[in-house]
Structure 1
Amino acid sequence: MSLALPVTPAQAISGGSDVTSTNHKYSYTVAVLAPVIMCAGALIDNRHVLTTVTCVNYLEPSEVEVYAGSNKYYADGIRKEVNRLTLHPNFNSANFDNNIAVLTLASPLTPKEISTYAIKTISRAAAGSRLPPAGTLSDVTSYGAIDPNYTLPDVMQHAQFSNYTPAQCQAYKPNRLTGTMFCAGDKAGFKDACPADQGAPLVYAEKLIGLYSWGSSCGLVAPNPSSPVFTRISSVNTWINTVIASTS
């Protein structure tokens, strides 16, 4: 099965910088290719990718591919078919609680593929672990467009977002945050996620702490009512481990 490119791009990081082939330390970031939209994801081992339910909801495994091993989503990488989509059973489409999905590749990435395409995996924040202190910078990466006009960059984009306290985030999103969510952004408003870039990994100290879930502002000073909200990996890690054990 092969999905034709180009797919409709998700809007992604505004104000970011290019991830070049010479500094591609973010090769745990993958593109999740579906018939209508491209999302992002994080490769956590040689057979499993984390993304959001909102990226793959209502799709069949045969409709989804993972593209890895390149700083471009359209060239120089490797495509892998997916044979299982596992959505969090407690996902809430009304408020995006538990917005997490595990994609199982039809065949694991081989040592040769990992070496040839310089692919890396990313460790996860441990279950129940705390988020980095407020103001700490974390790395976010994505392949999609860089503004609301769907302007496509040539290569993957990278930015650093500052973590916000739960009180800061809750003040802008009253009664919308749950224990599976947290906010991060750029106080200056120049670096941001844009709508629909589901699954972009947020990494701190070489640990995956979040996936972009909802509420982006695409260039407004953060935090604000539309600041990016991330699924908190430490809150769903026990479930992730259960899925991996059942699909390995």
Structure 2
Amino acid sequence: MTSTNHKYRYTVSVQTPVIMCTGALIDNRHVLTTATCVNYLEPADVEVYVGSNKYYADGITKGVTRLTPHPNYAPSTYDNNIAVLTLASPLTPEEISAYAIKSIPRAAAGSSLPPAGSLSDVTSYGATDPDLTLPDVMQHAQISHYTPAQCQTYKANKLTGSMFCAGDRAGVKDLCPADQGAPLVHAGKLIGIYSWGSSCGLAAPGPSSPVFTRISSVNTWINTVITSTS
């Protein structure tokens, strides 16, 4: 990945005592990340850093009042690996303006994934190499979509209906530790969040291709959570 500018301000850092993750701001009070990131934690254990392309500078910290993992999340398979974080207080118009904060629209329930060969944008604060070097600024990469059949072959038929894969055909761009929850965006809409992978820095087509939770498969549930916590 390469460092970013202000364009991707829907990308946030999710801080916990256990793990550092990434997330996607979907409105002024809700963030999507993986259930893996917050499983077994309490809201007081989690903070969201928003409004900056730097890891922990020039933005604002928001507490979390509710963690809502998907009820059908399966830790053993990563099925439905997604959680909604409800901020303790909504981002104010003044904060949104002062920090150039953006939220990201979501792919509609049941919508199709981009065709094979299409490129999507992924942004995160995770490690940048197999040595797990953490960057000071948000990183960005464009990765390519594969067909569902290719993904199942690459991932030994481990993908469920809540998952899809994408990667770098040249094997240079990948997702790494601390990238969990990283938003994958196509045509201005959030289509996935990074869920799991087999390696770091080996994203050529094959077993190491990153796997994402498919937003269109869980969007109806996300809407229900937002309604109940707004």
Same fold (TM over 0.5): yes
Q: Distance in 1 between matches of 2:205 and 2:178?
A: 18
* Aligned residue runs from structure 1 range 221-232, under 5 A: 221-232=203-214
Map 1:108-147 to 2 at 5 A: 108-147=90-129
- The 1:216/1:201 distance shift into structure 2, 3 A limit, reads farther
CA RMSD of aligned residues (A): 1.0
**Distance verdict in 2 for CA 1:64–1:180, change over 3 Å:** same
TM-superposed deviation, 1:195: 3.6
TM-superposition CA deviations, 1:51-103 (whole Å, max 9, x none): 00001101000000000001112110000000000010000111100001000
**Structure 1 residues 171-180 or 198-207, which shifts more?**
171-180
**Percent identity of equivalent pairs:** 80
Are the aligned partners of 2:11 and 2:22 in contact in 1 as well (CA < 8 Å)? yes
| Distance in 2 of aligned mates of 1:226 and 1:189 | 9
Equivalent residue number for residue 5 of structure 1: none
Q: How does 1:1-248 map to 2 (within 5 A)?
A: 16-19=1-4, 23-248=5-230
CA drift of 1:17 comes to: 1.2
User: Match of 1:10?
Assistant: none
The 1-side partners of 2:209 and 2:178 are apart by 13
The runs of 4+ residues in structure 1 deviating greater than 2 Å are none
**Secondary structure of 2:97's aligned partner:** helix
Cα offset, 1:143, TM superposition: 1.0
Shift of 1:148: 2.4
What runs of 5+ residues in structure 1 fail to find an aligned partner? 1-15
Structure 2, unmatched stretches of 5+, are none
Aligned residues: 230
How far apart in 1 are the matches of 2:153 and 2:183? 24
CA distance in structure 2 between the aligned counterparts of 1:191 and 1:132, rounded to whole angstroms: 19
